[in-house]
Structure 1
Amino acid sequence: MDLLQWLFEARIPVGNGSLLLREVMGNVFGLLSALGGMRRRVWAWPVGIVGNVLLLTVFLGSVFGAESAANLLGQAGRQVMFIAVSVYGWRQWQASRHGGGQAVTPRWAGTRARIGMVAFMVLGTVALTPLFRMLGSYEPVWADAWTFVGSLLATYGMARGWVEFWLVWVAVDLVGVPLLFSAGYYASAVMYAFYGVFTLVGFFVWARAQRTAQPRVEALLPDPSLR
């Protein structure tokens, strides 16, 4: 019990202020998960879930004893969503893992899926903004809703092996970083700014892997010369 209390209260001194240890740890686990995702390793999912649980307690600040902390319901809700979708992605990658330990072969989502992703981002943000505002989320509420919807879409895209999911993360970070800074979650804001650069690297890594991957169907078709 003392260890749990220490985890909830521990802070890291930074200049004239301090950062919650839980917030720093949660983002470190998130970064490790992103690194594992770029390398297409199954362990990326459970590592990410640990970070999600830690950050859930951070973004529901007043619920966990920090009365002056801003409640970012979109940020908190997306941690719950991350856990649910990560279980799906974990199972998908585990089932499809092949030689070399890599769990998925990157592929482009296609035009229809891209249009669907844009529509989902816009319509989802419009639909959730009034709900989050009613529940008392931090302003600007639309930015909180945008990060929630985008995070859901990006995590699902990663589970499916879509190269475009990295670009969705970039769109999330462009809105999420200013929101986190304004709400006082500085460790998460700095980490998300770093994610923005990292996700661009991930996009090019997956795009290159998609170009060099051999279609699996070719190995399954009989060689005409053997007939």
Structure 2
Amino acid sequence: MGDLFIWLASFFILIALLVLVVYQLMCLADLEFDYINPYDSSSRINKVVLPEFITEGVLCVFFLITGHWFMSLLCVPYLYYNVRLYTQRQHLVDVTEIFNQLHWEKKQRLFKLAYLIFLLFLSIFWFFLYFFSSSRHSLHAVDCSHRCSHRATLPPSHHDIPMAQFIINMNASMPQSQKFIIHILDSTHLFVQPNMAEMIRSAIAEFRDQNSYEKPA
């Protein structure tokens, strides 16, 4: 179950990264079609560059500390590229050069977008793989429980409706942790916990002794 939460968390982190990159591409597209001026476009992009870098670093470290080495290694090239841009002071868009570098700025963000989509599909794949795997194990456990319960047989009197009702009432009077009826098939057939069969037989025998009538001699 823990892995499901890990992949779910990585999914939302990747969605956040995609939103940041798409936002930058939209700003560049608006500039290309003269919807906004270079200063506004540069300012908007530069505001989300560092959050993008930090979020990518968090994702890489997140995969690392949760033991998902393969996904962490896949994040390293993206992280390395961001770190290199930051250390060389090339991570921010220059308002005076944005028109000359417009094609390159769009190109690098499109590569980032494709890379993030690839990571997102991998995360979705692993999420559903773990989800169906855990669901299959749960169903197997339930199936085993029912198979075991089939071995528990009621006394011969289980065909008697009053006896079945007596067992149901006895089950209802017990604490939740001690209830033994798994499923009521009909008015005379019950599935019970196998370890409770002897106790049920004893209770029915005692009930019969207390309510039996012997004709006087």
**Shorter chain as normaliser: what TM range?**
0.3 to 0.5
Larger radius of gyration: 2
What is the TM-score of this pair, normalised by structure 2? 0.36
- Greater length-normalized contact order (CA 8 Å, ≥ 6 residues apart): 2
What is the TM-score of this pair, normalised by structure 1? 0.35
